[in-house]
Amino acid sequence: MTINLSDLNSHEQNDWCPQCGDAGILLAVKSAIIQSNLDPKKVVDVSGIGCSSKLPNFVNVNGIHTLHGRPIPFAEGVKIANPELTVFVNAGDGDTYGIGVGHFISAGRRNVDIKLLIHDNGVYGLTKGQISPTLQENLKVKGWPEPNINGALDPLSLAIIAGYTFVARSQSYNVKELTELIVKAVQHKGLALIDILQGCPSYNPEFTSSAWFSAHTHPLPDTYNGIVSDPSNLEEVNSKKLQALNILMSENIENKHTGLFFQWENADTFEDRMKRSKIPPPIDEEISDAEGRSTVDLSGIMKSVST
């Protein structure tokens, strides 16, 4: 079955601002689904709240538009229930690194095979431009009257420390690079983060314009290789993590890299760990016979509660 981009359009028209970076992300998501040969019916795109999170409505795949900050647990729930689904999270930096940061960090402990595509524009767009957790201290953006007095967190370093097994950065106006990274994330077995520097022309034109990104972001050097070659070699894993942290710490707002910072293939995923418990994926378990009678085996319980 071959599908093309137009097959992936839902009947909804997007209502993003002109030049919004989300349009580029939307195109990259659809392109990556095609390039990865995914069956749209087996794709679930989970989103939070905000401009970013409208995205699933514009794609002809299953879409779950959840609550502010909560798309990660919803996505984990979907994937644990039915591991054959490809599960994306499209959410904002406020969603993921602000109100939902506990879920973002904790996801690293589980390594559930979901793909986070985080729209990172430094502001809360839909509520008209308040500062987000990734806006650097002292920056003044259009939507906010004063310079930022909060420090910024670096989602990539945090993800590496937290246990993410695929950590990348791209930007919304480089659809080609972003598409390639999403395809790699889909191929990757395990939890993936792509932090997408996203243009917000309405509230953060200063630091997220296409021109700004062209001037201040550049691909990781050719000599940089973030992929762990021997997944069982924990020394190599740690040295690749340190390599990524080193380059991330060398960055500033005027000098950021894009590309794949770290990848540890075949790390133990949550699905692997669950398989070892011998319990089948929840969706594959028959719960009743043709008449609706429960088919659960209570013999073990009856034995344990009998005197």
Partner 1 sequence: MIDVSWMTGGKQGTGIDSAASLFSKVLVKNGYNVYGYREYFSNIKGMHSFFTIRASDAVVNSQSNKVDLAVFPDKESVFGEKNEHGETIHDGHIKDVKSSGMLIVDKSVDVSQIKRNDIKVVQVDFDQIINNVAKKMGVKSSDVMIAKNTSIVTISAYLFGVDTEILREVIGSEFSNKGEAVIKMNTNTLDETLNYLKTLSISSLIKLAPVKNDDQLLLEGYEASAIGKAIAGCKMQVYYPITPASDESVFLESHPELGIRVVQPESELAVIGMALGASIAGVRASTSTSGPGFALMTETISYAGMTETPIVVVDHQRGAPATGLPTRTEQADLEFAVHQGHGDFSRIVIAPGDIEEAISITAEAFNYAETFQVPTIVLSEKSISQIYKSIKKSYIENFKDSYRIKRGKLVDKAGYDGDFKRFSFTEDGVSPRLIPGRSDHVMWIAGDEHDEYGHPYEEPMNRIKMMEKRNKKNELILKSIDRNEKFNIYGDLDKADLLIVSWGSPKGAILDAINEKIAFLQVKIIEPLDPEIGNIIKRAKKAVCIEENISGQLRQHIASRTGVLIENQILKYNGRIIDKDELKDGLDRVLKGEKKVILNDY
Q: Whose CA is closest to 183, among 61, 12, 34? A: 34
Binding-site string for partner 1 from residue 221 to residue 260, where x marks contact by CB under 8 A and - marks none: ----------------------------------------
Number of shown-chain residues binding partner 1 (CB under 8 A): 66
Contacts of 126 (CB under 8 A, 6+ apart): 49, 50, 51
Residue 75 touching partner 1 (CB under 8 A): yes
Q: How far apart are CA 145 and CA 130, in angstroms?
A: 9
Q: Tell me the CA distances in angstroms from 248 to 85, 88, 258, one per residue in order.
A: 32, 25, 10
**61 binds partner 1 per the rule CB under 8 A:** yes
Complex with partner 1: residue 249 or 296, whichever CB lies closer: 296
Residue 256 carries which side chain, given as an amino acid letter? K
Query: Which CB, 75 or 181, lies closer to partner 1?
Result: 75
Please state, in angstroms and rounded to a whole number, the distance separating the CA atoms of residues 101 and 137.
19
If the CB atoms of residues 18 and 293 are measured against partner 1, the closer one turns out to be 293
Which range of residues in 19-27, 150-158, 240-248, 297-305 is near partner 1 by CB under 8 A?
297-305
Site for partner 1 contains 290 (CB under 8 A):
no
- Among positions 33-52, residues that touch partner 1 (CB under 8 A) are 40-44, 46, 49
One residue of 106, 209, 210, 243 binding partner 1 per CB under 8 A: 106
H-helix or E-strand spanning residue 203? none
Q: Assign 4 to helix, strand or coil.
A: coil
List C-alpha distances in Å: 148 to 103, 125, 156, 189: 25, 16, 21, 38
Applying CB under 8 A, which residues contact partner 1? 10-12, 40-44, 46, 49, 54, 56-57, 60-67, 69-70, 72-82, 84-85, 102-103, 106, 110, 274, 277-280, 282-283, 285, 287-288, 291-302, 304-307
